[in-house]
Amino acid sequence: MMLRIAKPKVSIRILTHSIFGAPTLTRRSYSSGVKVKQMMVREALNSALDEEMAADPRVFLMGEEVGEYQGAYKVSKGLLHKYGPDRVVDTPITEAGFTGLATGAAYYGLRPVLEFMTFNFAMQAIDHLINSAAKTHYMSGGNISVPIVFRGPNGAALGVGAQHSQCYAPWYGSVPGLKVVAPYSSEDARGLLKAAIRDPDPVVFLENELLYGESFRVSEEVLDPNFTLPIGKAKIEKEGTDVTITAFSRMVGYALKAAETLAKEDINAEVINIRSIRPLDRSSINASVRKTNRLVTVEEGFPQHGVGAEICASVVEEIFEYLDAPVERITGADVPMPYAANLERMALPQVEDIVRAAKRVCYKSISMAAAV
């Protein structure tokens, strides 16, 4: 499914083209003379793929519509023309087949980047993901590495129904042998994808369809071809002292908006962009909770056995004595995703849900239990 997303409005826009052929929006600051660069998430992914393919001939891209159509979400724009059909491979609609093929190529020493049009379709290939890619290094006694990246949109989009709206972060995050990341910003997308492609182990790279057209500021450091982000390290998006809010992927933006609202009520929230689901950066989360003494976790997946549940368990097991309030989890509803727009909104976390939870742990509102 293709989404038409409006471009962000800025006072002065200069549309240029990067060396990758993808449009880059640049805003000039005339007071300082320094350019503040903006990059869409799809552009960040495209540039990361391009640079890694140029640097390492073992890297190739495979998936449905990645070549002639330039990607269902235009992430692979221009790559077929630059690298040819041997390295940008269009596949039939047969996830089990091309996932097995790519995993075998990784056994041989190549570095496949496998695109699923959505991770919901990866269920057709989950045997290769789990039993072949994730376990082979261990079962071979360390003799066979599986350097492969499985990437594509994860979680809910808009109006695509229950079968196309699932969050697979806790599914894959529970599997030993896999590394699982979920980028939020353009910096995340670019740095984590480059790191994933270079990694010797299989990496599940969970993007979000609604973030592809979002623009974020990127520094010159992020645009450096050698830039990577470490897998397994979270980022503090906003420092705070009163409550820790953890989130990943699209929910990071919701958490930041909630923090703005909370600030108006004298609650200084710290927002942690988890980035890496497995390995999970428990030390950064624990350090934040030691400072704030309160925790709210946010994710759009199901509540039972979720990423937030794992974070809560970790905090309770390791630093329970630092908590001044019960932990709050904000998740999607425990139902298959409704198709109707009004019900879909009710089934997903909203900014106001995060605000209410943060106020409860800060004892700035009546708790649900007390209200009942």
* Span 1-60, pLDDT tens digits: 333 333 333 332 322 333 334 444 444 333 344 455 999 999 999 999 999 999 999 999
The pLDDT of residue 102: 97
Q: Looking at per-residue confidence, does 33 or 182 come out higher?
A: 182
Residue 205 pLDDT > 60: yes
- How confident is the prediction for the chain on average, in pLDDT? 90
Average pLDDT over residues 326-348: 95
Cβ contacts of 151 within 8 Å, gap of 6 or more? 45, 113, 114, 115, 116, 193, 196, 204, 205, 206, 207
Q: How far apart are CA 186 and CA 183, in angstroms?
A: 8
pLDDT above 70: percentage of residues in the chain: 88
One of 43, 64, 95, 328 is an active-site residue; which one?
Answer: 95
Q: How far apart are CA 21 and CA 262, in angstroms?
A: 41
The pLDDT of residue 35: 59
Backbone angles phi, psi at 87, to 5 degrees: -115, -10
Question: Is residue 51 annotated as a catalytic residue, yes or no?
Answer: no
212 within 8 A of 40, measured Cβ to Cβ: yes
Residue 365: pLDDT band (50, 70, 90) is confident
pLDDT above 90: percentage of residues in the chain: 85
Q: Return the minimum-mean-pLDDT range out of 225-234, 326-335, 357-366.
A: 357-366
117 within 8 A of 91, measured Cβ to Cβ: no
Q: In what order do the strands lie in the sheet with 276-278?
A: 88-90, 59-63, 111-115, 149-153, 203-207, 179-181, 276-278
Average pLDDT over residues 282-299: 98
Say whether 317 sits in a helix, a strand or coil.
Answer: helix
336 within 8 A of 280, measured Cβ to Cβ: no
Residue 247 pLDDT > 60: yes
One of 64, 115, 137, 164 is an active-site residue; which one?
Answer: 164
Q: How far apart are CA 366 and CA 21, in angstroms?
A: 54
Question: Is residue 95 annotated as a catalytic residue, yes or no?
Answer: yes
